[in-house]
Amino acid sequence: MDGGKFRDNFFSFWRVFSMTQANPVYPIIWQTDHVRLIDQTRLPTVLDWVEIRCSEEMAIAIETMIVRGAPAIGVAAAYGVYLGARDIETGDRAEFLTQLEKVAERLRATRPTAVNLFWAIDRMIKVAYHTEGSVDAIRTVLLETARTINADDIRTCQQIGDHGLSILPSTPTKLRILTHCNAGALATAGYGTALGVVRSAWTAERLERVYADETRPRLQGAKLTAWECVQEGIPVTVITDNMAAHCMKLGMIDLVVVGADRIAANGDAANKIGTYSLSLVAKAHNIPFYVAAPLSTIDFAIADGSQIPIEERNPSEVYQIGDTTLCPAGAEFYNPAFDVTPAELITAIITEHGAIAPSELSDRLKAKSAV
């Protein structure tokens, strides 16, 4: 590489590094009249932003995983409802609400597993129906509600981090934590759920190292979790998904913390594909296995994990990386995006209300979810 190209690449890297060091990562930002999203499909090599100005653009951003992570797509969808409301050209309240339902239906169809998406959309629609006054008044309240959902998610993640810190094993003093996929600032409005626990442990000097599963097929661990950790100087080692049991056997892992996209009333938790197998090997090695997620991720309307819809994505994610085809022509592919970890394999679910045994979710949190 010639000196000029090296210098240009270095200063490009340094501008990105300095930005993220000076400011926490916020992947969703409301700016005057539009939403700015970090384009997570371009990380870790490029930090780029996408401007979203209508509900259809937001729906596409969610579908294509420009924005991803259950809490993050809930926040994004809330803004999507507002953007759709802004573009409805009628002053008639009944007609406005009818068209708003169509906006909501389009956004609901983007990702079927993450319950935060449905929670946020339902909250926005409920606000629209309950707001008195003109259509303009409804639009104003919808924007206020979306911004409240955004701010609340950041605060919730910080509380999850604090509660997670309080229940970490007392020994060793410096812990080695394994995580799967990305449940960090990029997957939320900021700070993160599983990585929120990691951040709190790092700040409290309780963390030695993060082990990040690469998380095939989209590599969110290798690309996104590793990127977040590097930005903050948190020691991180990326391993392939099939190395976890080996690392546990060698005594390299003290606990596992993952996020969730939907949790059933009995504590069964849907998360990125590969989480279930990780919980099994953690159980085999007597290693605590925690799920970190906000109350909005718990779906008390379903009894157990068998009722959680599992998204299946394009098979090209399995057989192709970039422009490289990995498999021979004629092979067939199966690409579920999530699996369900049974409640009995989960040590505790860490929420903004504390760390709770899966069997106690309904008794302790169901009433709070209705507020």
pLDDT digits (tens, 9 = 90+) for 101-137: 999 999 999 999 999 999 999 999 999 999 999 999 9
How many other C-beta atoms can be found within 10 angstroms of the C-beta atom of residue 279?
A: 25
186-243, pLDDT tens digit by residue?
A: 999 999 999 999 999 999 999 999 999 999 999 999 999 999 999 999 999 999 999 9
Homologous superfamily assigned to 167-369: Translation initiation factor eif-2b; domain 2 (3.40.50.10470)
Catalytic residue among 261, 268, 299, 339: 261
User: Percent of the chain at pLDDT above 70?
Assistant: 93
> Which of these, 77, 42, 82, 81, lies nearest to 62 by C-alpha position?
77
DSSP state of 192: B
Secondary structure of 268-307 in HEC code, one letter for each residue:
CEEEECCHHHHHHHHHHCCCCEEEECCHHHEECCCCCHHH
pLDDT of residue 371: 57
Q: How do the domains of the chain map onto residue ranges? A: 15-156, 167-369
In DSSP terms, 341 is beta-bridged to 269
Q: How far is CA 57 from CA 33, 72, 101, 259, in A?
A: 14, 16, 17, 26
* pTM summary value: 0.90
Question: For the chain, what is the mean pLDDT?
Answer: 93
pLDDT of residue 199: 97
Inter-residue contact 266 to 361 (CB < 8 Å): yes
Inter-residue contact 189 to 28 (CB < 8 Å): yes
What does CATH list as the number for 15-156?
1.20.120.420
In DSSP terms, 50 is beta-bridged to 37
pLDDT of residue 21: 42
pLDDT band per the 50, 70, 90 thresholds, residue 24: confident
Q: Which two tokens stand for residue 50?
A: 């996408």
Answer yes or no: 323 catalytic. no
